[in-house]
Amino acid sequence: MNAVMRGLDGVIVDETAVCLADKQKNQLYYRGFAIEDLAERCSYEEVAYLLMHGDLPDSVALDGFKRKLVGLRELPEALRIVLERLPGNADAMDVLRTGCSVLGSIEPDIQSSRLTGGVSQHWLANWPISY
């Protein structure tokens, strides 16, 4: 009789260069960088750039990326209406999840599969301000 695997322990779904969860070291890496190092030394935009482009940005690339994100920060009206109707004491993660679901439903180019595409950047631009 075969052993029954419970949950996802030991299940490999796919391989990626974006993230590594090292169970033995209890460590999470983004593009080869320990997440603790990124949290201590990098801004939200620097980590977003790393995830999307594969390397940390230099100052010129970071300035351009920040300008682009600022230009995408206006919340779509449908998302703003939903977020305004949530209780003021709602858990921040619940609000973020709801915002992501709504934004995913209303984005016009959601079929784009490119990580660096407009949908990804619009989401990155809106997440920090969605709660």
Give the Cα separation of 40 and 56 in Å (integer): 14
Instruction: List, for residues 57-98, the tens digit of each pLDDT value.
Output: 999 999 999 999 988 888 889 989 999 999 999 999 999 899
Q: Looking at residue 40, what is its pLDDT?
A: 96
The overall pTM is greater than 0.85? no
Phi-psi sector, 61: left (phi>0), alpha (psi -120 to 50), beta: alpha
Instruction: List, for residues 30-48, the tens digit of each pLDDT value.
Output: 999 999 999 999 999 999 9
